[in-house]
Structure 1
Amino acid sequence: MNIVFEKNHQRAFGTFPLKGEVLRAAIEAAIAAGYRAFDTAQMYQNEADTGAALAGCGIPRDQLCITTKVGVENFTPQTFMPSVEASLKALRVDLVDVLLLHWPAPGGDIAPSLRLLEEAQARGLTRHIGLSNYTAAMMRQARSIVSVPLVENQVEFHPLLDQSVLMAAATETGIPLSSYCSVARGEVFKYPLFAEIGAAYGKSAAQVVLRWILQKGVPINTMSTKPENIRANYDVMDFILSATDMARIDALTATGYRIIGKNLIPYAPDFD
């Protein structure tokens, strides 16, 4: 595994839904805070803005970990590779560090898009490949189809949603999870427990949430436009939640609060 990937991938800066000057300023603040991993996607329509910001940030390319995702509209043999090449051009790089399939292929046949993803890696368009929004059954199927390592399944993961089925599938398949919507788009702040626990560690509610995710063994993607929040989201490696506090937070996963599903993405799978 690439050393830069291993070092930086635990804490990535997510770029959705930022664009233009707002995105440039956020990336600048993220770089200053210490972020070296950045996550975008074809669907976000901000790859060019992300590429411009990273090209001008002063950090050598070999110290950055850049992830993008192929949209389902490009899951055909005619469009897949050209779309990835367009992403690379927009991002101003020769290859990305991680290329993900943004969603399982609509209709249920995930094999063709997985084979195209594997081909993209073989062609040198990406260092690593992975998945996003795959169910446990799809993770097992993907593992049987793809002959190279799949470095992540990026999924909604936060303390208000029980993802134990996916965690078990990650252990079974060797495909690690990574987290988006890590603070449930602010929903976690309605629960006093996080601030209460944070007070004991000198940390904010958000930092407690992010630390809980990391202690689950799941890398985090976070996004903010406020420099102070960007710094705080990165500053989560200098404390460890006790087993008791982890268990208190674990209990909240029974809330079953899911943000991303068929309500927003009609072709989303039936999640576990």
Structure 2
Amino acid sequence: MNIYFQKTHQRSFGTYPLEGEVLMNAIAAAAETGYRAFDTAQMYGNEAETGEALAATGIARDELCVTTKVHPDNFGEADFMKSVEQSLKSLRMDYVDALLVHWPPVGGDIAPSLRLLQQALERGLTRNIGISNYTAQMMRDAKSIVDAPLVTNQVEFHPLLDQSILLRAASETGIPLASYSSVARGEVFKYPQFEEIGRGYGKTAGQVVLRWILQKGVSANTMSTKPENIRANFDIMDFTLSSIDMDRIDALNATNYRIVGKDLVPWAPDWD
């Protein structure tokens, strides 16, 4: 089973934009809650603190699923492996469970960074490789460029954004999606439908959103610094949204509220 959709890893704790004591406390709370999948990136600047916090939990390494991502500035052959080795040193780990390229390179030639990603796998620096912020065509191209399975395409995914093209590409290529900005940085809470649906299940609006993501076949990354919210985000496996409620939420895709575009990130591609 894909590492990103194992039952224990469908819910991943994201670390962006946390740092310092806030990050340490959040990871401690997440680990205590039951999270075993943790997500970081070179771009976040918090790998060392994430590694320190995970070491402090005392959780055995083989129980963890740790993901990090290579910064596009390190996609050159001279920098790629060095940056991954530095990530491992910062994380206090011999390997990560999943290593992703964080963005497509400016210019659009994805092949060189993907080949280096596969070399990192072959060198044992990671157990799995994946991509992030790739378009549907890039997913198809990536599958033909690398020999190893790509375990995820981590993308912005929430009910207010129509990602049906990427979902079809995931089905076509066998590269599952993972979410970031899972509650659209709070924008979803402006829509009363989620709270209304949640009342029928004894769940919060946020839990309904995250459950919808899982039922779309997408693993959910969430971040919070509040222990009660960390627990709520994790507690989404004991109910199933009806097809009627799923359809009701699907209708909000037409909002097409996208957070991450070229205005925010220079590496953003022309989205599907």
The TM-score by the shorter chain falls in which range? over 0.9
2:40 aligns to what? 40
2:97 aligns to what? 97
1:160 aligns to what? 160
Contact kept? 2:182, 2:222, Cα under 8 Å: yes
Once the two structures are TM-superposed, the CA of residue 107 in structure 1 deviates from its matched residue by 0.6
Once the two structures are TM-superposed, the CA of residue 266 in structure 1 deviates from its matched residue by 1.6
1:264 aligns to what? 264
Runs of 4 or more above 6 Å deviation: 2-5
1:126 aligns to what? 126
Instruction: Call closer, same or farther: CA 1:82–1:3 in 2, change over 3 Å.
Output: closer
The aligned length equals 272
- Unpaired segments ≥5 residues, structure 1: none
Q: What are the Cα deviations for residues 37-90 of structure 1, in whole angstroms up to 9, with x where unaligned?
A: 000000000000000000110111110000000000000110000000000000
Q: Does 1:140 align with 2:140?
A: yes
Instruction: Call closer, same or farther: CA 1:170–1:70 in 2, change over 3 Å.
Output: same
Instruction: Call closer, same or farther: CA 1:167–1:71 in 2, change over 3 Å.
Output: same
- Partner of 1:96, secondary structure, is coil
Contact kept? 2:23, 2:49, Cα under 8 Å: yes
Contact kept? 2:170, 2:177, Cα under 8 Å: yes
Once the two structures are TM-superposed, the CA of residue 6 in structure 1 deviates from its matched residue by 2.4
Equivalent residues in 2 for 1:1-272 (5 A)? 6-272=6-272
Q: Which amino acid aligns with 1:51?
A: G
**In 2, Cα distance between equivalents of 1:134 and 1:4:** 17
Contact kept? 2:5, 2:219, Cα under 8 Å: no
Contact kept? 1:70, 1:101, Cα under 8 Å: yes
**In 2, Cα distance between equivalents of 1:5 and 1:166:** 17
- Unpaired segments ≥5 residues, structure 2: none
**In 1, Cα distance between equivalents of 2:261 and 2:35:** 29
Please give the TM-score of this superposition, normalised by the length of structure 2.
Answer: 0.98
Contact kept? 1:157, 1:180, Cα under 8 Å: yes
CA RMSD of aligned residues (A): 1.1
Contact kept? 1:70, 1:83, Cα under 8 Å: yes
Q: What are the Cα deviations for residues 169-207 of structure 1, in whole angstroms up to 9, with x where unaligned?
A: 001111000100000000000000000000010000000
